[in-house]
Chain A
Amino acid sequence: MEQTNIFDPNYFHKVVDCQYACPAHTPVPEYIRLIAQEKYTEAYMLNWDSNVFPGVLGRTCDRPCEPACRRVRTEETPVAICRLKRAAADNKGDVSAYLPHVPEQKNGKRIALIGAGPASLAVARDLLPFGYEVHLFEQDEKGGGFMRSQIPAFRLPEEVLDEEVDRILDMGVHCHFGQAIDSMKELMDQNFDAYFVGTGAPRGRDLELTGREDVDEYIHIGIDWLSSVAFGHISEIKGKVIVMGGGNTAMDCCRTSLRLGAESVKVVVRSAFEVMKASEWEKEDAMREGIPIINNRPPKEFVHENGKLKGVLFECVTPVRGEDGRLRYESSGEPDEFIECDHVLMAIGQDNHCPWIERDLGIEFDKWDCPNLNEVTLQSTNPSIFFGGDSAFGPENIIWASAHAHRAAISIHLYCQGKDLINDRPPEGVNLLSTKMGVHEWAYDAAHDPAERHSVPLVEHESSLNNLKVEVELGFDAKLAAQEAQRCLNCDVQTVFTDNLCIECDACVDICPMDCISFVDNQPEEALRLSLTAPAQNLGQDLYVSGELKTQRVMVKDEDVCLHCGLCAERCPTNAWDMQRSVVHIPQLGSFGE
């Protein structure tokens, strides 16, 4: 195998599993260390740089980082990364001194952002410090987009959202709220220098079934219904409720129904429990509130009498795993099941929908009504128009919106400066800094903490179910946060090996608790993986291969289950091993300013 190039920014970035999995590449271990040092404000701002909405994300993020956490591979449960983020947001002090400076003197370029959701807000944040005049158009009276309209207050309190939305608006955004844009052409007549579309995926899917037309009054589209609840247009739901769908919107619908006075709530899902789209924890939250989730029940018919909905008839199916590993559903042979109800909330997915964009503006759309975009630059086929968030590639989540926004902001800046959107993008980079402070002293807490994941305290059951606005999770207090922070393995503190210092004494091999290190004859990767002290069977994790040593062997380290405990470096008599903190530079518009 070739010697590993550790100066390739991607190599060590990949070792920091959480950061690599995060679409916005938030430097997770670094902010967790700051939390452990009670530097909540700094931890918050480090988050804010990457993902723009730490308080919101600390409560609502889809957490792609957690399943990726190395701790899953070493001890099953990941570090509670998301809830630590919230702890930073909850405990932070005044952040004003850390905010970027927005110049009085503008650069003369005017940018229109359509939709005041997370994507547009993040683009605004990135552009404002560079002197852009940013105009934000939104149909609702307040900013926040679906963070406000679709995430219920018992998961995301309004004041948390307001704080983070206002922080951006206060940087000097020209807000045009309560103005729905119904023609892109008309907007373009105002001659902005560039346009960013961040209008989300606003159309909830409907289901054409027998009886659907006759009971329209009792059937609600989940995201529209949640939005009506959020803006106070709906404040109760009476009788028995069926929520159809297995995603996070379904979970929000059922829990909201319970709080608005429904007599009973059931979630009915077409597919099997384990393949439901909803996050594990959101399913758990719903079930903890006593809401049954009924699986393998595709709907057949809305049953009604005299124009009044009586219930829904479901088919009974069983999942069968096909040879391709995918689940197929066969009739289980049981008779169809009738479930009584007074209302149905339909949460079976969302689609992109931009009827207000005229199709003769040079913006091409595909058959799913998604724009044709360059995946790197997010530029549409009309060079002045960019897309991001759900309106770009379909429904995702807030963290993707932040990630898109950074890329789009770079593109908009390059476009306005007349530069090439691909070749002039700032590159990724990596810095390595030794953490060695003394003979046995490291600038990070190297010892492995075997503690199990701490669970987040919840508010008392009764009071949360009676009030839509009572936040269910209380969040980690400072003490719990400090304890959970200790579980982080500091995967960004890398084991860096210098081959010409090594005397091949085997000390690192002997001390490594996870058998990550081997000194072996070099071979092609497949054979090499099997020749190690512990065979490296996780092909998703790289091997770190040194140059040739004096004995013609090579050092091979399997990155898979390394605890970053630093014992190899502690035990190395020649400092051939060193623990070095890797700082991965993910390009943002701010990268130009440095």
Chain B
Amino acid sequence: MTFVAKPRIHHPNLPVNELGLTRRDYEGSVSTLCAGCGHDSVSAAIVQACAELALPPHRFAKVSGIGCSSKTPSYFLNRSHGFNSVHGRMPSVMTGANLANRELMCIGVSGDGDSASIGLGQFAHVVRRRTNMLYLVDNNGTYGLTKGQFSATNDKGSTSKKGIPNLYEPIDLVSIALQLGASFVGRSFSGDKRQLVPLIKAALKHKGMAFIDVISPCVAFNNHNGSTKSFDFVREHTSSVVNADLILGQPEITADYAEGTHEDVAMPDGSTLQLYKVDADYDPYDRIGALNYVQKMQEQGQVATGLLYVDPDAVECHDIMETTGQPLNELAEETLCPGNDVLASINQGYR
């Protein structure tokens, strides 16, 4: 926690993006999380990703639930719309916002308690519905706000600060997301912005449900020897499969990659998703393969990171429901509320 406010002044050569904004313009209030919290790095990664993509901050809706993770939307994009909702209910509020205004860019931030315990049902259903959003989980395996109990994502056998092992199987949010229909699934680490920032950029530009599980160590309660979500453990046990990047416009060929390891995917808005396969055999378009791979790695005590699965042509909630193409607030009153006659004729259709 910091009492000294971050000065407004910035580096004289700080770049300005196409909107005339610097990275600093995408920041939020001063974080009140513990010094060194991984969540602050995730917020910084979101700030950097949005600034680099030159996205207009006022077109964002950021929604969260309850917990350390859910405090973080205050710490990025202070010029956007935000809603700090009830514990585990971020998906409902986000869905509502997205249905009302499909042009908003939606970021939902949640934690392992918020999504894997109290909000597991909400999580499952928002993924099923394929709401067009970035669902980001700051996953530290512990209930930091209540002083360090095991959370539902804590690995079996991983120990508490006092050395007591966890007795229960972990919930793997990545596997659930893959299984229930997310069209973009990634995992990363708060301590590796080189991987995380491009992944967030790709997810923000993805049309459909994009889920990123970010392992974000809790420096206060879960960063000791024996923890499987500590900085050291994660650094030693991650293996990246596919690194993603998103560039605006057509890519320039800048580096040589071994055949079959680099692929450009054109995105609907003209930008390009670039995939760099670290593991040449890995197929990021194969959902079942991804599911198996993630499970297998977990069995070996390894953490698979990077872009695990993407379906660039996926449908999203609005497509499935065949909703109107315009945000509701742009519709005239007579369109939005066509009156009793229309209601009567709809009702008549069901008789």
Contact = CB atoms under 8 A, between A and B. Distances in A.
A537 B13 contact: yes
Nearest to A505: B36
A386 to B, nearest CB: 45
A169 B9 CA distance: 49
A505 B6 contact: no
Interface stretch (A102-110, A194-202, A507-515): A507-515
Interface in A539-590: 550-551, 561, 563, 565-567, 570-574
B191 A515 contact: no
B12 A74 contact: yes
A215 to B, nearest CB: 53
A574 B217 CA distance: 14
Contacts of A570: 2-4, 35
B contacts with A: majority SS: loop
A567 to B, nearest CB: 6
A447 B4 CA distance: 6
A558 to B, nearest CB: 9
Given A515-B11, A534-B14, A507 B37 contact: yes
A226 B163 CA distance: 83
Interface in B126-146: none
B2 A535 contact: no
Interface in B32-46: 34-38, 40-41, 43-44
Contacts of B2: 440, 511, 567, 570-571
B35 A507 contact: yes
A567 B4 contact: yes
Interface string A522-537: 0000000000001101
Contact of A572 (B1, B36, B41, B190): B36
Contacts of B40: 507, 510-511, 571
Contacts of B193: 506
Interface residues of A, number: 35
B237 interface: no
Contacts of A550: 232, 235
A561 B38 contact: no
B9 A511 contact: no
Nearest to A576: B36
Contacts of B44: 506, 509-510
Contact of A515 (B3, B10, B217, B232): B10
A561 B11 contact: yes
Given A514-B9, A515-B11, A446 B4 contact: yes
Contact of A565 (B1, B4, B217): B4
Contacts of A516: 11
Contacts of A448: 7, 9
A534 B13 contact: yes
Interface in B1-33: 1-14, 24
Contacts of A509: 44
Interface in B214-252: 217, 219-220, 223, 231-232, 235
Range for the number of chain B residues in contact with chain A: 20 to 34
A447 B41 contact: no
Contacts of B37: 505, 507, 573
A573 B14 contact: no
Contacts of A551: 235
Contacts of B4: 440, 446-447, 565-567, 570
A325 interface: no
A507 B219 CA distance: 11
A506 B191 contact: yes
Interface in B176-218: 190-191, 193, 217
> Which of B12, B220, B235 is most buried by chain A, counting CB atoms within 10 A of its CB?
B12
B288 to A, nearest CB: 34
Nearest to A561: B11
Interface in A108-152: none
> Which of A446, A506, A570 is most buried by chain B, counting CB atoms within 10 A of its CB?
A506
A504 interface: yes
B3 A574 contact: no
A450 interface: yes
Contact of B191 (A440, A446, A505): A505
Nearest to A574: B36
Nearest to B3: A440
A357 interface: no
A361 interface: no
Contact of A513 (B6, B41, B191): B6
Contacts of A565: 4, 7
A165 to B, nearest CB: 43
A514 B34 contact: no
B36 A504 contact: no
Nearest to B8: A450
B10 A506 contact: no
Contacts of A510: 40-41, 43-44
A450 B10 contact: no
Contacts of A574: 36
> Which of B6, B35, B43 is most buried by chain A, counting CB atoms within 10 A of its CB?
B35
A186 interface: no
A573 B13 contact: no
Contacts of B220: 573
Interface of A: 73-75, 440, 446-448, 450, 503-507, 509-511, 513-516, 534-535, 537, 550-551, 561, 563, 565-567, 570-574
Given A510-B44, A513-B9, 15 more contacts: A73-B12, A440-B2, A446-B4, A450-B8, A504-B191, A505-B219, A506-B41, A511-B2, A513-B7, A516-B11, A535-B13, A551-B235, A565-B4, A565-B7, A573-B36
22 contacts: A73-B12, A74-B12, A440-B4, A447-B4, A448-B9, A450-B7, A450-B9, A503-B223, A505-B38, A505-B231, A510-B41, A513-B9, A514-B10, A515-B10, A534-B14, A565-B4, A567-B4, A570-B2, A570-B4, A571-B40, A573-B219, A573-B220
Interface of B: 1-14, 24, 34-38, 40-41, 43-44, 190-191, 193, 217, 219-220, 223, 231-232, 235
Closest 5 pairs (CB-CB, A-B): A573-B36, A448-B7, A510-B44, A573-B219, A440-B3
